[in-house]
Amino acid sequence: MRNLLLTLCFDGARYHGWQIQPNAVTVQEVLQNALVSVMQEKPNLKGCSRTDAGVHARMFCVSFHTQSRIPCGRLVDALNHFLPPDVAVQACREVPEDFHARYSCKGKQYVYQIWNAPVRSPFLYQRALHYWYPLDETQLNAAAAQYVGSHDFTSFCTLDKRESRNFTRKVTQAEVRRKGNLVCFSVSADGFLYNMVRILTGTLLYVAQGKIAPDAIPKIFASKDRTRAGPTAPPQGLYLNRVFYKEADLHAD
């Protein structure tokens, strides 16, 4: 029995997130179908994250155990033959028996893209939020810096029965940068709560609109009150950008 780690990327515009749903097409479903076609078995897939409908991934990791002896290079080519054009397997490697794409993960980085121009970009339809009012990226970058550190993110998540009652996460990086009309908010942490990045983004947009003071974020943390933060930004601008593992966890003894 081998334990394999697949690295994917996908455009999530037409998918109802990663996890299989009874009445909607998901990324897990199309990957599972491709694996059945190639390997004639249906492995139990462990995804690194639960992405929402419409969210994209530049890096998404999946692990599974299999009896198949197909070499990793051939498996990548075969899966991409059967996958739709908006999902691609970028790499495959054999990992230790106890490796788990989600539980072995040490952190993730998300990026939220905002097209900040009076006229929408047809090329970024469902791939960035169109926000036509002016944005001061310097002000927003200063506000985003207040997210860095270990905090209780109760105010910045949607309560979900799937979550434990521990809402503390350690954010190691939070930045807002502009390249032309594209404004990107990137944030890295040891873990993320349900809708956390989208609410962090919505809070920054409220700062831009003057509805939240730039220095009010520490008070929002302390309140542990979701109503004090900004709205949940739409999903189409959100990308899972990177997934972090310890290199030692990827190698067998």
Mark whether 127 and 238 lie in a shared domain. Answer: yes
Q: pLDDT (tens digit, 9 = 90+) per residue, 89-126?
A: 999 999 999 999 999 999 999 999 999 999 999 999 99
Over 60: is that where the pLDDT of 253 sits? no
Mark whether 167 and 55 lie in a shared domain. Answer: no
Phi, psi of 109 (to 5 degrees): -125, 130
The answer for 248, left when phi > 0, alpha when psi is -120 to 50, beta otherwise, is alpha
Q: Which long-range contacts (CB under 8 A, 24 or more apart) does 68-76 make?
A: 68/2, 68/39, 68/41, 69/2, 70/38, 70/39, 72/4, 75/4, 75/38, 75/39
Mark whether 232 and 133 lie in a shared domain. Answer: yes
- Residues 6, 92: contact at Cβ < 8 Å? yes
Final residue in a domain of this structure, among 104, 129, 153:
104
Mark whether 198 and 235 lie in a shared domain. Answer: yes
Q: What is the pLDDT of residue 164?
A: 60
Q: pLDDT (tens digit, 9 = 90+) per residue, 133-159?
A: 999 999 999 999 999 999 999 999 998
Final residue in a domain of this structure, among 104, 132, 164:
104
> How many Å is the maximal CA-CA distance in the chain?
59
52 tagged catalytic: yes
Residue 51: both structure tokens together = 């992405």
Residue 247: both structure tokens together = 């290199």
CATH number at residue 122: 3.30.70.660
Instruction: State the distance between the two ends of the chain, measured CA to CA, in whole angstroms.
Output: 16
Q: What is the pLDDT of residue 50?
A: 87
Nearest to 51 by CA among 28, 33, 85: 28
Domain of 18, in residue numbers: 2-104
> In the structure, what pLDDT confidence band is assigned to residue 251 with cuts at 50, 70 and 90?
confident
Final residue in a domain of this structure, among 56, 73, 104:
104
As for how many domains the chain has, the answer is: 2
pTM for the complete prediction?
Answer: 0.94
Is 15 strand, coil or helix? coil
175 falls within a domain: yes
Determine which one of 52, 86, 190, 249 is catalytic: 52
